[in-house]
Structure 1
Amino acid sequence: MDRLPLRSRVIGTIILMITVLVSIGWMMGGFRQPYRNITRSTVRAAQPLSMPSDNYLAVAWLSDDLVALLRRSSTGLVGWNDQILLYSIATKQQQTLIVPHPPMCRFTNPKFMRRLPDGNLGFISSCLVDREHASDIFDSLYVWNKQTNRFQVVYRYPANFGAGRFTVAPDMSEFIQERPNGLYGELHRVDQNGDLERLYSSWTRVRTPAWSPNGHALVFAGTPVYTPPTPLHPLFGFGSMIDILYYPWNLYLADDDGNNPRIVLEKITDAFVGDWSPQGTWFSFTGEYERRDGVWLVDPMTRHVTRVWPDRANHTWSPDGRQMIFLQRVVVDGKEQDRPVVVNIELLMSQQ
């Protein structure tokens, strides 16, 4: 039999090597997903809302006309007495939402607000209670009904629980609550009886849960097992603390009951899941992916990734899913502030 020409043998060897590398990549958990970048288009298309820039911490688009913004307090104790502003897109007017202040609380503070499946506003309210020798913090999950202008306490957490971000089931029957717990993190399911059940208790850390609009899937950031790449400092443990602080997160998609978690995207620094688009076509996250910061959209079916904003801006979807509001960082009188801007994200995604 004649020997193959040298060129053919070289090409065949290269193809074989590529095949082996691809196989090894998949065996080790798959390669990271390529992404497209439309940040120039989104920033160029962004239209500011007719309201002053300020130190905004979060934003939630409640209805076609109504937007809620969480504004950091400029007076008093840092991290307390923040305010929720309500902004009308039609009238361009804003007002402060007066959050309940129980008499036992020295300070109260709203945080981690989001639009609920029924279109109302949900948020965590922290209450600082002074004791004889110490202080306790009591968190509660509140709902503000935009039709009746009334508040309802949905759940009261144990003292010093430290409630973080939460997600509510589409039928409003239960919710999943994040407990940051320092460098680590926990997720707890709260059923309609008010019982707390910890999810993924064997995992090193989990956070930022988000239920899909149809209730069939749950997305979150997590690390099942963490092995420190550097040894623990014998006195302070600094090596391990710094390692886990910058250790990359994975994004997971699980069934509606939290079972069967599988990786959607790997190796994201400081990943925070945002929310699903109302149609369930995308979910958002912030963090550093492929060495770039930003707000990202992930298609859970195809796993396609799109970078839609150049930094880790807080953001929200419009109720119809066609637009997004980003809190754009700007400099005003030498100070950094946030400016709410609107982007027709559906149009930009379809043009790319």
Structure 2
Amino acid sequence: MIIRNIMKKCIKINKNLAVPAVGILIAGLALFAGRSVQPENGFTLNQYHNADAKFIGDHIITSVDEQIRILDLEGQEVRRFEGTQASWIYVMEDDGGNEPAAESQTTAADSYTVAYSNHSNETHILKLTSDAELMDDQVAVTTDTLAIDPILVQIDDGYLLTNTEIDGTINNPSPDGDNGIYTVRLYHSDDLVNWEYMTDIISRKQNLEDGDIRYLDGTLYYFFEMEDYDKGPSKICVMESADHGMTWSEPKTLLPNEADNEMASCEKTADGWRLYVSSDLACVGESYQGASVYYCDYTDEFEPVELYVKSAMPDNESVRLYEVKEEDGKLYFLFARNFLTDCDFLLRAMDSE
């Protein structure tokens, strides 16, 4: 196992923009509208203040003031769904998302299915066309308390939906405070309409956040962050189920709680697994404002191969990472910059690493 050396230094963002002369007119107009044009490696939406964001085909789904918006990959808004309330968003993977990255092939989907939850204690199933037009929006589950971080996955005999219910204090900010009980509940459906409660995957008096599920060769893998207190040290864990979610293994730690580790994705590779996080490892205690993007590689059995390799992603400072996607030899990163203050929204692209 190799752990890369981390420079124990916090670097603050220089927000002065250097614009090439050939693009000064275009860039100036874009900045006037609060948008920075960077055609080679993504976009910047200054002070966008979105709550979550995911890739959905060749678009991006996000929410601002809990209203769902669809953006293209240049940062232009193409859809806005009035009346929606969404703070936590999850896009169901297609079949290609369940294969190792080296073997998967990208195919256009006829439609997309999204799970989202809100502060009205609802978890919804949203269906969109391939052009991101609204087809249907139904409440799947209602809860007595706030339920966050929905996950939606297709398995052999139907669909699984999770959300994380919080009983008590939400995002306890202090190591001496009384944390709420976070419980990850699992539901099953044959048709994405009628949902039946199955079991609780895990329940802890700790923040359980940023969950994701992968289904491979009959086994479910549940990845999540377990946080001691809000913006405090957190570990990244995985649990497994070989019986379609009825029973689960004990959590296995992938990253210890030596920094605020915010998970974005953990994907199967040809050699094992790759985990992407944003972490304040280089300046512990700064949380999102001092975080950068790192990746960690593991064997098929989740034994560490290389930990905390700092990504070569452009603008890799003050990051709250939403999602990472690999396609056609490119990596695409969705993230907020200075999440607690400016909350700029960025897409950056680079060659695979």
Coarse TM-score class (shorter-chain normalised): 0.5 to 0.7
Q: In angstroms, what is the RMSD of aligned CA positions? A: 3.9
Aligned ranges for residues 26-41 of structure 1 at < 5 Å? 34-35=3-4
Residues 59, 196 of structure 1: alpha-carbon distance in 2 compared, 3 angstrom cutoff? same
The structure 2 residue matched to 1:297, chosen from 276, 295, 298, is 295
Counterpart check, 1:312 vs 2:319? yes
Q: Is the 8 A contact 1:56 1:327 kept in 2?
A: no
Higher helix share: 1
Q: Is the 8 A contact 1:163 1:179 kept in 2?
A: yes
1:48-104 CA distances to partner (integer Å, 9 max, x unpaired)? 5457432233221111x2222322x3xxxxxxxx332222338x74223315x4xxx
2:276 matched residue in structure 1? 284
2:118 matched residue in structure 1? 126
2:138 matched residue in structure 1? 153
Residues 167, 95 of structure 1: alpha-carbon distance in 2 compared, 3 angstrom cutoff? same
1:241-288 CA distances to partner (integer Å, 9 max, x unpaired)? xxx557632222221343142221112444332223475842323333
Counterpart Cα distance in 2 of 1:124 and 1:152: 10
TM-score, structure 1 normalization? 0.61
Counterpart check, 1:326 vs 2:334? yes
Q: Is the 8 A contact 1:144 1:151 kept in 2?
A: yes
Counterpart Cα distance in 2 of 1:121 and 1:340: 24
Higher strand share: 2
Larger CA deviation: 143-152 vs 186-195: 143-152
Aligned ranges for residues 1-352 of structure 1 at < 5 Å? 34-35=3-4, 47=40, 49=42, 52-53=45-46, 54-63=48-57, 65-71=58-64, 73=65, 82-89=66-73, 93-99=76-82, 101=83, 109-118=85-94, 120-126=112-118, 137-147=120-130, 149-153=134-138, 155-159=140-144, 161-171=145-155, 173-181=159-167, 182=170, 183=172, 184=180, 185-192=182-189, 193-195=195-197, 197-201=199-203, 204-212=206-214, 214=216, 216-222=220-226, 244-245=229-230, 248-256=233-241, 257=245, 258-277=248-267, 281-289=273-281, 291-292=283-284, 293-301=291-299, 302-303=303-304, 304-305=306-307, 306-308=309-311, 309-318=316-325, 320=327, 322-329=330-337, 336-344=342-350, 346=352, 349=353
Counterpart Cα distance in 2 of 1:195 and 1:36: 45
Counterpart Cα distance in 2 of 1:51 and 1:249: 28
Q: CA deviation at 1:157?
A: 1.6
Counterpart Cα distance in 1 of 2:263 and 2:325: 17
1:280-325 CA distances to partner (integer Å, 9 max, x unpaired)? 8423233333645323322232522223333332332336383222
Q: CA deviation at 1:338?
A: 1.1
Which of these two proteins has the greater Rg computed from alpha carbons?
A: 1
The letter of the residue matching 1:175 is L
Q: Is the 8 A contact 1:249 1:270 kept in 2?
A: yes
2:104 matched residue in structure 1? none
Q: CA deviation at 1:122?
A: 2.0
TM-score, structure 2 normalization? 0.61
**Number of equivalences:** 264
What stretches of structure 1 of length at least 5 have no aligned partner?
A: 1-31, 74-81, 102-107, 128-136, 227-243
What stretches of structure 2 of length at least 5 have no aligned partner?
A: 15-37, 95-108, 173-179, 190-194, 285-290
Q: Percent identity?
A: 8
